[in-house]
Structure 1
Amino acid sequence: MSLTYQVLTYVGLSFGWFSFFAWKRKKRMDHMHTMIIGMSMGMMIGLIAGLLFGSEYKGDLFLSTIWGMLIGGISGMIIGIPFSLLSTIEGTLSGIMAGMMGAMLGEMIPMEKMEPLLFLFIMLHTGCILLLSNLIGTGEEETPNRKRLITLHNPITPPVLLIGIFIWFQSLPFSNLSANTDQMHSQNHNNQPVVQEINLIASDFSYKPNRIVMKKGVPMKVTFQNTGSVEHDFEVVSTGKFVISSEANDNHQHGNMGKEKPHMHAKPGESATSVWQATEEGTYEFYCTIPGHKENGMVGSLVVL
């Protein structure tokens, strides 16, 4: 499971548990408590989601901002609805603003700085849940049976939970997230760009990897290998944004010989290579042009930084 899915899964599960916990005790809370809950949850989830998608879709701030705003705003709205209209509005707006800020952070900060910042946000999110749960549960009478259970009122639970999150966080695949960026930023002492190399494998019916990151103006050597049982190709959806500098063989260009739409083709068990570079930053889709293959999932994205 990728880093983004793991973090969002944890955030979603913790948010769901806390929402259920808070909703059951809403009768004992005043408007100030419910507003704080809505704003806190919307803001923390918006920041985390925005940061994740800002790093995932570097070069496409619009897309990462939309995702951050949606997840943050919907989270703040969901937790606020059972309380009051005011809590719903506060939670939604807080989530939207936090999603925007998180996406900008993910876009601006280098990949090597993302790990400590994401860890900080996750611990803040967890800390908010622990503090708010303790605030909500203050004054609850513990029955003998409940005292024997591990609950948030047990002083051992918070440190055990935080240590567990710390251990889990160390296992997240940050190395995979930063590998492409490290390669793009490598240059020789004369400040001349080196050729980036990428192996793109086509099977029936998917690409591996299905997301490629490259640097504008830096040549990229693409080796397209077909391990499937039928012929496959891939074409980048762009016009005039790429320059093909060399081709190792006939890549079945379909009339796109140019210097505009990178297009490579390989029969089963064969491969093709090509060197090209981007002239403009952005996020571009690529897919298999053979009829029916795109519809079966042979699509991916190319991010130019």
Structure 2
Amino acid sequence: MKRAIFFSTTFAAFAFVSVALAAPGHTGGHAHSNVGKAGDPKKVSRTIEVVMNDQMRFLPDSVTVKPGETIRFVVKNVGEMKHEMMLGTHKELMDHAKVMQQHPGMEHDDDNAVTVEPGKTGEIVWQFTKAGTFKFGCLMPGHVEAGMIGTVSVKR
């Protein structure tokens, strides 16, 4: 009987912690990924301004950086709805967009993403560690599907 009570209590505590960590925000750091890693704000190579709007577009929608470069993305939301910018591979963004459809209130607190309220500005400091073609997108439900996605080309 004691074993059953211990198991039930342990399972309930685990379930509570799992739910508490899963909602409403999404945290996990993403300090290092296929796209690179969180950059040191003291070692920024250059700043790139990115504008997000309610026409579901990023301006610019394409940027080129060099491997090893640390970029400060200054991300401005000129729209009237909340937008975000998340860095990742195309597959990572599309997979995560599906999760966002199921959990529309989820916000990101990750190194590779920033959620920006209307009329506000946010930042991502990111170091691109290897060459390749990567993406950035707004994963608010329906936004990436409407074309709110851009490309990062990392090349020498």
**Aligned pairs (5 A) from 1:127-276:** 195-204=45-54, 205-238=56-89, 252-254=107-109, 257-258=110-111, 262-276=112-126
Flag the 1:230–1:218 CA change in 2: closer, same or farther, 3 A.
same
136, 148, 154: which is aligned to 1:286?
136
Which structure has the higher relative contact order (CA within 8 Å, separation 6+)? 2
Using the size of structure 1 for normalisation, the TM-score is 0.30
- Supply the RMSD in Å over aligned alpha carbons: 2.0
Question: For the residues of structure 1 that align with 2:127 and 2:85, how far apart are their CA atoms?
Answer: 16
- Map Cα deviations across residues 198-241 of structure 1 (whole Å, 9 max, x no partner): 00000011100000111111111110000011000011224xxx
Matched residue type, 1:237: G
Report the Cα offset of residue 253 of structure 1. Answer: 2.7
Q: Deviations over 1:133-188 (max 9, x none)?
A: xxxxxxxxxxxxxxxxxxxxxxxxxxxxxxxxxxxxxxxxxxxxxxxxxxxxxxxx
Cα deviation, residue 287, structure 1 = 1.1
In structure 1, what residue type is equivalent to 2:76?
Q
**Secondary structure, aligned partner of 2:114:** strand
The AA in structure 2 aligned to 1:294 is: V
Runs of 4+ with >2 A deviation: none
Q: Distance in 1 between matches of 2:61 and 2:150?
A: 4
Kindly indicate which of the two structures has a greater share of residues assigned to helix. 1
1:194, 1:201 → 2: CA distance?
A: 20
Corresponding position: 1:296 with 2:146:
yes
* Whole-angstrom CA distance in 1 between matches of 2:125 and 2:87: 14
Q: CA deviation at 1:274?
A: 2.5
Q: Which amino acid aligns with 2:57?
A: S
Alignment size in residue pairs = 96
Larger radius of gyration: 1
